[in-house]
Amino acid sequence: MSRFDWLSEFLARLDHDRPIPRQADADVLAPARRLDLAAEDWGAAGRIAAAMGLRHAGVWADPLGDRPSESPQESGSEIEGSAIRVQACLERDGDYLILQTLVLQTRPVLDSHTPLFPGVDRLERHARDLTGVRFHGHPDERRWTRHQAWSTDDFPLRTDFPIEGRSTRRTPADVDYPFARIQGSGVYEIPVGPVHAGIIEPGHFRFQAAGEDVLSLEERLGYVHRGIEKLAVGRDPQGLMRLAARVSGDSTVAYAWAAAQAMERAAGCAPPPRAMSLRALLAERERIANHLGDIGAICNDVGFAFAHVQCARLREQWQRRSAALFGHRLMMDTLLPGGVAHDLSETDFRELRLDHAALQKAIAPLFDIIDDHPSLDDRLIGTGILAQADARALGCTGYVGKASGLAFDVRRDSPYAPYDQVRVEVPEETAGDVAARVRVRMKEVRASLWMLDRLLDALPEGEIAAPFPSPQQGAMGLGLIEGWRGEILCVVRFAAEGRIARYFPRDPSWFTWPALERLIHGNIVPDFPVCNKSVNGSYAGVDL
Amino acid sequence: MADILSPSAWLLALVQALLFPALAPLLAGWVRKVRARLQNRRGASVFQPYRELRKLLLKEARVAHTASPLFRAAPYVVFVATWLAAATVPLLTIDLPTAVVADIIVLAGLLALARVFLALAGMDVGTAFGGMGASREMMISALAEPAMLMAVFTLAMTAHSTNLGSVIAHHLGDAFVLRPSYLFAFAGLTLVALAETGRIPVDNPTTHLELTMVHEAMVLEYSGRHLALMEWAAQIKLLLYGVLVANIFFPWGVASDPAPASLAMGLAAVVLKLAVLGGALAAAETVLAKMRLFRVPAFLNLALLLALLGLLSHVILEVGA
């Protein structure tokens, strides 16, 4: 199959819509192609993408400030004054296309892609809250990331907004958010959160229920908005790595890798092969640790504490090994721009292999029990079904997509080193229920364990880090990593002297949170926790 | 039968009534401990529930602004009603004046009183969780109560009395006969006990998930001594059902006279029986997941059916035999 066999058709259809010369350039945001569009073409590009069945992998805005000429590509454009660059990512068959356009900060209006791609609803609202770009035709005018910390006409990501913020006052309570209500006899509302009884991240869930049946669920997130994108501005590459590692703590390796990949592509830096293999080792360790935790937590949510305790024990041992070898239980700050921070010795190798064998042995009976326990089956099978059509419409990746028949995996479908050298098993289930999401996780644990040994077998000798050159002003890079939750996308643009001008990480949870709102339909209120846990969206990853 | 006016009998009744709150946390701690061991955990000491009660009793009790006086009164009513109900159950000896004044129907009534106040308190503050818990509790208890009475009536028909002391005395006096009606009633009452005491597979006492709670949702707004009383009442209820099952169906060792030796024997016997029952409960909770809420009616219907079968088999097989 030739790469990008759909791109020419996409361009032809765009041309048919409005014939002007367009060229997708392959260099700036490799491995993705980049297509410059006029602002008027934005809506048409979305319609064609939807008609061709592309997956929308997110949209973000990048206020360029007063000097649009800082990136050489735009020097000839007719935009004057402050401009905002809007980019969107489309994907099919593992080929990525970045659409980009410029809008004026004084009149920042674009056609919305939300009516065709419901998954980008909150991403567009996020971009509007932070940069002021208004998406025409967006079905939902309500604020999203903005709670009460800044006012309606303040846009924190614009260059005139100070990094330290405008106010140090305590943020008022977010009280007047207009939730969609259902009226009727016997219909009542259940507000849950943002503070929960368990130790989990904050988020508010608003149920409309009749008896125990959930009529609708609406999520309200943004309680852990830390201003990640603004905090990135002006950092050096090392500083960005530390920040990226803290976007979502449970995916710290994946985020750090995505940021490193984006910066390395922008700077033209090639980390040594040993560093790439070690990164994969870290990422697979992270995947196994989180999946083990999730499998146990799902069982615990239906009162099956035995599996929870066993998984917690295995995960704890796994994380202690991570702490011993890499200095941190979650392996935070183990990646550097250009390489990794820790090498492994021969003794470490032996210990790791023993660990892998021990875990393999321990999960065999445990996963058998979880897979085939009547009392557990009764709760998990048929609960929280996400239809394949919904998963596709929203653009779900990771275990949520894989459990609903969408077997997409960046490691296999758009491979980056070292996954181009290793066979990546991508589990696929079609049932789309909680049980399927558990099975996908169990298969991924097994596949990752197998892969860890192959990575150790073929670990190249040599350096673990390459010097990171200072990237040019305006250089951009795209990072695409398969985190344990799914595809993590991140874009980086450099300012002068190797400083960061824009960093945007897009968590897979942007698409799985809306999936949760859909899959809960037809379920009862007490089954929500297990549905939620089976999706396990990241709060921090989308609150940014 | 005990002399209802004898002061020593009343003293004995008082001691036995005090034993219930004193031993209840121990049973809860024992079940937790066995559960922990079955999950390959070390678990907290069996005395941990006592420490938790002490901690809660020493803490300040916070009450929501929207709470009515009922909210403050409910913990006392629930505790006292549950305790009184427990006092009617023969723990060590059947020779009790309390058993004369209160039979099994009074016991069910006292438990119902406690439940009504618990549910009212759950709804009082006006949070969604309390109301949800109250509605679920009522659904469960409406189905559990008839099953429980049916199971106990099976025994009462054998003994020709609804008095627990007489039922046990009758059973003790019998040579050990395996009656089908007892087996059915035993199975039915065990299922009811699981539902009524909020154990897996009906409710999960250790959960932190508000949306799945039944009993815990109703006491979610309580703190300090109020919460301590609610928790304590729940532990007494667990002990009550444990003793009910242990002493009715396995009555060996229950003292039929107030001699100190037989009382000591009675205590040892009931502790042993409860330890076994608690272990069995922990084992069941380890191998089972919690049921989906709407399976609970089917579960309790099974309990009712078993109890009914017990009654039928008594009438068909045992009457006149």
- Give pLDDT tens digits for A44-79: 889 999 999 899 999 999 988 765 444 444 444 444
pLDDT at residue A203 tops 80: yes
> Long-range contacts of range A359-364, CB-CB < 8 Å, 24 or more positions apart?
A359/A288, A359/A314, A359/A318, A359/A449, A360/A446, A360/A449, A362/A310, A362/A314, A363/A314, A363/A442, A363/A445, A363/A446
In this prediction, residue B49 carries a pLDDT of 95
Mean pLDDT of A167-177: 82
The response to whether A229 counts as a known ligand-binding position is yes
Per-domain boundaries in chain B:
7-318
Q: Which of the four pLDDT bands, split at 50, 70 and 90, describes residue B321?
A: low
What pLDDT is recorded for position A10? Answer: 86
The three-class DSSP label of residue A335 is: strand
Report the percentage of chain B scoring pLDDT > 90. Answer: 48
Higher pLDDT, A492 or B4: A492
Q: What is the pLDDT of residue B154?
A: 87
How far apart CA B88 and CA B240 sit, in angstroms, is 10
pLDDT tens digit string along B47-70?
999 999 999 999 999 998 889 999
| CA–CA dist A53, A65 (Å, integer) | 35
In terms of CA atoms, which chain B residue is nearest residue A298? B289
Hey, what amino acid is at B209? L
Q: pLDDT at position A80, please?
A: 55
pLDDT for the residue numbered A32: 86
Tell me if B290 and A379 make a contact (CB, 8 A cut-off): yes
pLDDT in tens, A349-370: 899 999 999 999 999 999 999 9
The token duo for A22 is 């367009």
The mean pLDDT value of chain B amounts to 88
CA nearest A223: which of A525, A543, A492, A472? Answer: A543
Asked whether residue A465 carries a pLDDT value surpassing 50, the answer given is: yes
pLDDT of residue A99 exceeding 60, the answer is yes
A296 near B CB under 8 A: no
A160: pLDDT confidence band, cut at 50, 70 and 90?
Answer: confident
pLDDT over 90 at A286, yes or no = yes
pLDDT above 80: residue B182: yes
Residue A229 sits at φ, ψ, to 5 deg, of -65, -35
Q: Do B286 and A305 touch (CB under 8 A)?
A: yes
Please report the pLDDT score of residue A74 as a whole number: 46
Q: pLDDT at position A75, please? A: 44
> B96 pLDDT exceeds 80?
no
Check residue A69 and give its pLDDT: 47
Q: Enter the tokens of residue A526.
A: 């007490």
For the stretch B145-174, pLDDT in tens is 899 989 888 888 888 888 888 888 888 877
Is the CB of residue A243 less than 8 Å from the CB of residue A228? yes
Q: Are A383 and A523 in contact (CB under 8 A)?
A: yes
Residue of A nearest to B200 (CA): A303
Best mutation target, A212, A310, A533, to test chain B (most B CBs within 10 A)? A212
CA distance B208 to chain A (A): 5
Q: What number is the average pLDDT over the span B215-241?
A: 93
Q: What are phi and psi of A347, to 5 degrees?
A: -65, -40
Name which of A189, A206, A301 to mutate to probe chain B: the one with the most chain B Cβ atoms within 10 A of its Cβ.
A301
pTM, whole model, 2 decimals? Answer: 0.90
Q: Residues near A186 by Cβ (< 8 Å), separated by ≥ 6?
A: A210, A211
Among residues A283, A261, A270, A275, which one has the least CA distance to residue A478? A261
CB A415: neighbour CB atoms within 10 A?
Answer: 17
Cβ separation of B40 and A527 shorter than 8 Å? no
pLDDT computed for residue A316 by the predictor: 94
Task: Please report the pLDDT score of residue A81 as a whole number.
Answer: 64
By residue count, chain B amounts to 321
Separation CA A325–CA A344 (nearest Å):
8
Residue identified by tokens 């209840």 is B24
**What confidence score (pLDDT) does residue B4 get?**
64
Q: pLDDT tens across A491-526, in order?
A: 999 988 889 999 999 999 999 999 999 999 989 988
| Domain architecture of chain A: domains with CATH | 7-136 (3.30.460.80), 187-220 (no CATH), 237-508 (1.10.645.10)
Q: Other CB atoms closer than 10 Å to residue A161's CB: what's the count?
A: 18
Taking an 8 Å cut-off on Cβ atoms, the answer to whether B210 and A524 are in contact is: no
**Chain A, chain B: beta-carbon pairs less than 8 Å apart:** 79
DSSP state of A140: -
Strand A33-36 relative to strand A95-104, pairing? parallel
Q: What is the pLDDT of residue B320?
A: 63
| Mean pLDDT value across residues A319-345 | 91
Q: In the beta sheet, which residues pair with residue A35?
A: A24, A99
ipTM, two decimals? 0.87
The DSSP annotation for B256-279 comes to SS--HHHHHHHHHHHHHHHHHHHH
Option in B128, B211, B294 nearest A528 (CB): B211
Q: What is the mean pLDDT of chain A?
A: 89
What pLDDT is stored for residue A489 in this prediction?
Answer: 93
Is residue A473 exposed (0-12), middle (13-18) or buried (19+ Cβ within 10 Å)?
Answer: middle
Q: What is the C-alpha separation between A341 and A164, in angstroms, rounded?
A: 30
In angstroms, rounded to a whole number, what is the distance separating the alpha carbons of residues A457 and A422?
11
Q: Which of A188, A302, A527 sits opposite B289 (nearest CB)?
A: A302
- Quick check: B40 contacting A, CB < 8 Å? yes
User: Which residues in chain A are contacts of B212 at CB distance < 8 A?
Assistant: 301, 526, 529
At B5-41, the pLDDT tens digits run 678 888 888 888 899 999 999 999 999 999 999 998 9
- What whole-number distance in Å separates Cα of residue B69 and Cα of residue A153? 48
pLDDT at B297: 92
* DSSP character at residue A92: E
pLDDT at A463 over 80: yes
A164-to-A226, B148, B278 alpha-carbon distances in Å: 12, 66, 59
Average pLDDT over residues A430-455: 93
- For Cα atoms A133, A138, A143, give the angle at the middle one, nearest 5 degrees: 65
Residue A530: band (very low, low, confident or very high) from pLDDT cuts 50, 70, 90: very high
Percent of chain A past pLDDT 70, that is, above it, reads: 97
**Confidence tier at B176 by pLDDT (50, 70, 90):** low
